[in-house]
Structure 1
Amino acid sequence: MRYEKPAFAEGIPGALILCGPGSAAPEAFLTFTRLAKPLEGKFIGVKDKAPDTRELTEATGIWWEFREPPKGRVLDALKAAQARGATLGGNFAFTQTALKDGLLPDANTAIRYELPEGAALAIVGREVQLLGAVHVIIRLAATRFGPEERVTLGGRTRLADLTALRRRSRQRMEPSFPPAKMPLPNVPSGTLVIVGGGGMPQGLTQRFVEMAGGDKAIIAVIPISMPDPLPPKDGMAEGLRRAGAREVVELTGRTPEAVDKTEVLELLKRATGVWFGGGRQWRFVDAYEGTKAAKLMHEVLKRGGVIGGSSAGASIQGEYMARGNPLGPEEIIAPGYERGMGFLPGMAIDQHFTQRNRFKDMELLIKTYPQLLGVGIDEATALIVQGSVAEIVGRTRVNFYDPQKSAPESVASGKKYDLATRKVIE
C-alpha cells in the first residue's frame, strides 16, 4: 500500500447546496430546507445585504441570495458554521466562493465543478448528488501521468463520492496504477485464506486457527467493512474462540488515527493471524491505507502467520481491489478505490462469483488491466495460498482469468492451481 491516504474519509462537515447561474433548480432550496431543518434550529436568509457576523454564530442553516459573494469576516463566519455542521447554500455568487475559498476542498484546483445555468448539487458528508435535470461536469485536472478526466452527473448517474473523487485526483499525481508490469502472485512466507463469502467452507475456521498456532493463536478480527452499529458479538470472532484460539481481539477502529493507536499496534506485533470480515471493502481502505497497522499485517505473514477474510475480506487481500466503489458494489472498477492491501501481488479477487453472475465483470477487468491475474471465488469456497500454490477448498469452484488464454479456467474444490505459472497442478 504505497499511496499515503489523506485524512478526509468522512467528507465535509454539514452540507452544501451549490447552484449554477440564473434560476436554480426547485430541488435546490427544497433540499436545503430538508437538510437545514429551520423549525428545529436557527435559519438565516441573506438577501439584500451582507449579514452581521453575530447573526451567523449560532445558525444551523444559511441560504445566500445576496448579489455579492461572501468575503472577509462573513466568509470566516460561514466557514465556522460549516465546521460545526451547518447547512449552507445559495446562488451562483455563493457557489463561486464555496468552490474558490475552501468550503468544498480540492475544488478549483485538482477538481473543477462546472455548474451551468439551472444546475445544482447537494454535498452531504461525502455524497455528491445532482439536483434537477441539468447535467454537471466534474473535471479532474491533467497531470504529468495522464490527461484530464471527466465525470458527468446526469441521466441515471446522479451520485458521486467526494472522497473517491479526491483520492482519484491525488492518485493521478503518481504513476498509473496498476503498473504495466506486475509481480508474480506469491506469498513467500505465511498463508492467505481467501473465502468467496456466503459462509465458511466446512472445517476451515478450525484450520485457520491451527495455521495461526492452535491453542497459542493470537488473532485480530477486523469487522469494520460493515456499517455502524456493529453487532455486540462478531460471529467470526466467536467461531475462532470456539475453535481454540488463545486470544481473539476485535479491532473496530475506522480511522487511521484509531487503527494506529498503541494498543492496536502492540496487538498486531504479537498477532499470529488476522481476519477481515465481510461487508464493503472500501471501509478497510479508509481505515488502514498508509498506516503503521497495515505494515504490521504484512509482518504477520513474514513471520509465518496467516491472514484471511471473506467477501470484502477476500477482495482486500489482492494488490488490485475489485468493487471498491463506496456508492455500491455493482462496478468492478472503481477509480480512487483500486488499491488493495497487497498481500497477494499481481492479483484481483472477486467474490460471490457464480452466485451473482460476475463473469462479464471479470472479463472487463482483465481486458482493462491485462497485467492482472483475475480470480472469481464462489460462495462457501476458498483459496488457501502458500508460495504461489493456491489450494481450492469448499463447496464449489474458483475461476481463474488469464488474459493470455482464450477462456477462464474453472477449478473445482480439491484441486490446486499455480498462480505463477497459471496452470492447474495435476
Structure 2
Amino acid sequence: MIAELEAQRRIIDDIIKEQPAMLDSYRSKILEIELMYCKIYLAVEDAPNLKKHLDEAAKFYTDDSFSSTVIAYNFSWAGYYYITKDWDKCFPQFELTLSAFKGTQPMYEMDIRRIMGDAYADAGRYKEAAETYRVAVLKCDSINKATLRMNEETVQANYRIQKALLEKEIGAKRFWQIAVGGVSLFVILLVGGVLRVSRIYRELAKSEREMRESYAVVQAADKMKEVFLHNITNEISVPLHSVVTLSDSLCQRNDLTMEEQQEYSAVIRRNAEKLIDLIFNILDLSRLESGMMKFNVQEYDMVQLCTDARMQAELQEGISVQVDFLTDLHTQLVQVDTVRFMKLLSSVLMSPKGRREPYAVQYMLDYKSIDELRIVVTNSPLLMDVENERECEIQHAINRLYLEAFQGSYQLCEEDGKQLIIITYPIKSFS
C-alpha cells in the first residue's frame, strides 16, 4: 500500500514540477494521499513517519476542506499525540475531531469517542474515560432504540400489508364465488347441477385451506421476526448493562484501587466495542434485508483486494496470526464495493475482538467458471467462535445478503474434516 501511495505521489510531483500552476488542482489529492500515509503509520504506531506525513499534510490542509478530510486530519494528530503520550495536546485534538462531525456519521463519532476513552484510560484519567465511554454508550443506546423501533414498525407494516393483501384476495375470491354461483345456478337449471354443486363445494374448501396455509406462513414469518428482535435485545442488554454499571462505579466510588479501576476500564472498553460492533451489524443487516443499503461500486483488482485483506489480518494487535493466500491469478478486475467487500473478507479472516489465541487460516482465489470467481476459506475464525454464536450468525447473514445483492453466493460447508467458507463473485458487470 505504501508503494502504491509513493507511486501516486511521484506522478503528481512530476506533473507539478513540469506545470507549477497545477499545484492548486492537485492540492486536495496530495492531502488525501498524505492522510492515507497517516492512517497506515497510525495503525502500526510508527510515530516518526506519522509526524513526517502529518507535517506534509499540514501544508495542504485548509479549514474549508470536506468534513471527512477535517475529521481524518484532526484524528491523525490526535493519534500521534496518543502514541507519543502528549496528553495536553491529545485531548484537545480529539475534541476538534468530534466537533467536525456536526451531528453527521453518529456511528463513526461513537468509535472516535471510544478511542478517546481509551486515551483517557491510558493517561490514568479514569473518571474522564468513564464519562467518555458513558456518552458513547448512551448515544449507542439511543441508536439501538431507534433501530429496534424501526424494526418494530417494519414488522407492523409487513403485517398490515399482508393483511390488506389477504383481504383483497378474499374479496376477489368472494366476487368470483358469486360469479361462479350465478353461472352454477344457470347450469343447475339446465342440467340438474348436482355435480356442479359438489364441485363448487370442493373448490371453496380448497380455497379456504390455501388461505389458511398462507395466513399460517405470514404468522410464522412475523413470529420469526419477533424472536429475532427478542434475541438481539438480549445480546445488546448484557454488554450495555455492564458498561453503564461499571461506569457508574468509576464515577461515583472513591474507594476503588488502581487495579480495580483498570479492570473496570478494560471491561467497559471490551463491552463497548462489542456493543458498537453489534449495532453496526444490526443496522447493516436491516439495510440489506430491506434493500436500502447503498453501495459505492467501482472497478478494482480482486487479487489486490485479497492481498490487502491478508495484510490487515496479520496486522491485528497482540495476536499471532498465520494467513496463507494462494492464487495463480496475477490480476482480475471486477465491479465491487471495495469497503464492503474488505469488511466481508476481514470478518472471515480476522479473529473476533476479545480473543487472543493464535490461529492459522488459509484462503484461495481461483476461477469457478469463465465469468465467476471463487474464494475458499479454510479454518475461518468466524466458524470457530462458539462463545458468540448469535453474533456469528448475524455476520454470516450480512455476508450472504451482501453477496446475493451482487449476484454472488456465500456457503458454509465441511470437506475432509475441514470447515470451509466458499464465496463466489461475478466477473462480468451487473445492472
Q: Which has the higher helix share?
A: 2
Greater RCO (Cα-Cα under 8 Å, separation 6 or more): 1
Q: Is TM more than 0.5 here?
A: no
* TM-score, L = length of structure 1: 0.29
Which of the pair is proportionally richer in strand?
A: 1
Q: TM-score, normalized by length of structure 2?
A: 0.29
Answer with 1 or 2: which has the greater Rg. Answer: 2
